[in-house]
Amino acid sequence: MRIQLRELRRQQEQDLNFSVDVDLTKVHPNVEKSVKVFVKARARYSEDLYVIDGRLNAVLTLKCSKCLTAYDWPLESDWHEVFSREQPAQAEEKDDTNIHVVEEDEVDLLPYIREVLLLEIPFVPVCRDDCRGLCPVCGVNRNTDDCDCKQETIDPRLAELKNFFSSKDNT
């Protein structure tokens, strides 16, 4: 999706309602497939700035870091961008908003939408807070299957003590 700044300057305001396919599978290891992002926003031109305000909606398919199962992850995020054709003077840098200085009258919005998604997706996604993950011995998904593998569960405060004794045994 591209926006024509010259046209926006003429109209002063534009509604942006579109959907766009975003593929983040190569930049985030837990993103399973490309996703359709629904964009509802308003673009305005004022005082040499082109301002976009709106929302992004998508349902991503993420892979759980613990049990490796794919799950739906609905995303709804605010979307705010400010463009300028010229380097703004220091005083014009209002609030904390980063102003994107663009060279062309035509701006591709996809990279900016990708950036918002990437910032929102958890670094280590899990399918649910209490995901039990995979059995480290046999590999079954412990959310859905049981296994008879013996697992030592050690209080972390006692683990150090145990290490101490086992290293003593080795000497």
Distance of closest approach, residue 70 Cβ to Zn ion, in angstroms? 10
CB closer to Zn ion out of 111 and 136? 136
Task: Please choose, out of 15-23, 43-51, 138-146, 157-165, the segment that lies near Zn ion by the rule CB under 5 A.
Answer: 138-146
Residues 28-47 contacting Zn ion, CB under 5 A? none
C-alpha–C-alpha distance, residues 19 and 101, integer Å: 25
Pair of tokens at residue 153: 């569960």
DSSP 101-151: E-SSSEEE-HHHHHHHHHHHS-SS--SSTT---B-TTT--BTTT-------
Phi, psi of 90 (to 5 degrees): -50, -40
Pair of tokens at residue 117: 């998604």
Contact characters 46-75, Zn ion, x per CB under 5 A: ------------------x-xx--------
Distance of closest approach, residue 123 Cβ to Zn ion, in angstroms? 15
CB closer to Zn ion out of 65 and 77? 65
- Residues at the interface with Zn ion (CB under 5 A): 64, 66-67, 127, 131, 135, 137-138, 147, 149
